[in-house]
Structure 1
Amino acid sequence: MANMISKKPILIGIVLCALLSFLFVGNAYAASTSVSISNGSGPVLSSVIATNYGVSYYGSNSNRSGHILHISIEEKTGAYWRTDTSNPMGIGQTASGSSKLKVPAQWRVKLNPDNYHTDCSGYGQISGS
């Protein structure tokens, strides 16, 4: 009986490994990306992230901008990009919220000056929900 190994420490080790695996997999989807626009630029796009449950977003239009800046959250579940949410930000204002779509998709943020002007500076960010 002295040669028997206790099963309790082995079982605890297996359970801890499983929990850590789930923790790391969950964090793999906590992605974010951002984009900035400066005077002289037209519409700009961020890089793409993939999430399972949509995104939250934040954007700001500098008080040095000359016009309204639109922040658009775009999603792609098939072959084409579609606008999920779009908000205008007045000079010196911010916008925030979350996407309408809550399924696995690819996401990007777009900053677009009002009426094709190029005198805006601002920032936009999306994060996986």
Structure 2
Amino acid sequence: MINQYEVPACIEDTIPALKKALHQFPAVFHIYDTVSCLSEYTDRQLREQNFQVADKCLQLAGKLYERGNTVVREAITRVFLPVLCSIPLADAVSRIRMYSLIPDSLYPLYIQHQLTGNGNR
């Protein structure tokens, strides 16, 4: 099980580009800031259509949700998911592309968030 103190190292190992950003605050003690850093980076990659990097970010978020303790799962649900749901999907191609990138562990949460009106469609 991944705890909140291990998350920054998991992110750095998977996405080295975030190393500097994660060290700008004591991320080890602030899981919400850490997940926010990951979610903002993922958002930027998706909006710039850098799908290869975005896929790594999404797979990591899925892994953190799947294997994380309660604190980690809550941070993914409260911080990462709303950012993911706020990404505009202009057409069917965008929607299909986005759906194909979302890991199985996050997909039901993503759809539920969309259906409850908490995300932009």
Please confirm whether the aligned pair reaches a TM-score higher than 0.5, indicating the same fold: no
- State the TM-score, normalized to the length of structure 1: 0.27
- Quick check: which one's strand share is greater? 1
Q: Higher relative contact order by CA 8 Å / sep ≥ 6: 1 or 2? A: 1
Q: TM-score scaled to structure 2, two decimals? A: 0.29
Larger radius of gyration: 1
Structure (1 or 2) with the greater helix fraction:
2
